[in-house]
Amino acid sequence: MTKHAKRPPSGKSGLIELSFPGGNGVQASTRQGPTQAQSRLRRQRLVEHLHRLGPSPLGHFLNEIERGASVAEMLELYRRIDPELVRALGGDRFASIVHVIDGREP
């Protein structure tokens, strides 16, 4: 896919118009800070990373959210966790259910 950027004349708006084949025009901001599309893409990548951590870390994440933690902050925190290390240590799965049998009659 080819993109053609049209820069605005000097002193005009801080937007760049991107033309895609088929006439799909998109405007991207040249100002500082992430655009809405960039923010959405970052969140998608953070969610994909959380998913790669496995069911148990996802359960812990949801528990934190239920207790009032910020979704964005928790996603950034979980981003630092290495999925391979979690998997190697067995932390990606929920612990097995343990039944205690004491040998006494009920």
Count Cα atoms within 13 angstroms, Cβ side, for 30. Answer: 13
Average pLDDT over residues 64-74: 97
| Contact yes or no for 58/45 (Cβ under 8 A) | no
Q: Give me 80's structure tokens.
A: 């630092």
d(CA 97, CA 51): 23
Average pLDDT over residues 38-52: 97
pLDDT tens for 25-34 read: 455 545 578 8
Q: Which candidate, 60, 56, 51, 55, places its Cα nearest to that of 79?
A: 51
Residue 101, pLDDT score: 80
Q: Structure pTM?
A: 0.60
Q: Which candidate, 83, 97, 17, places its Cα nearest to that of 54?
A: 83
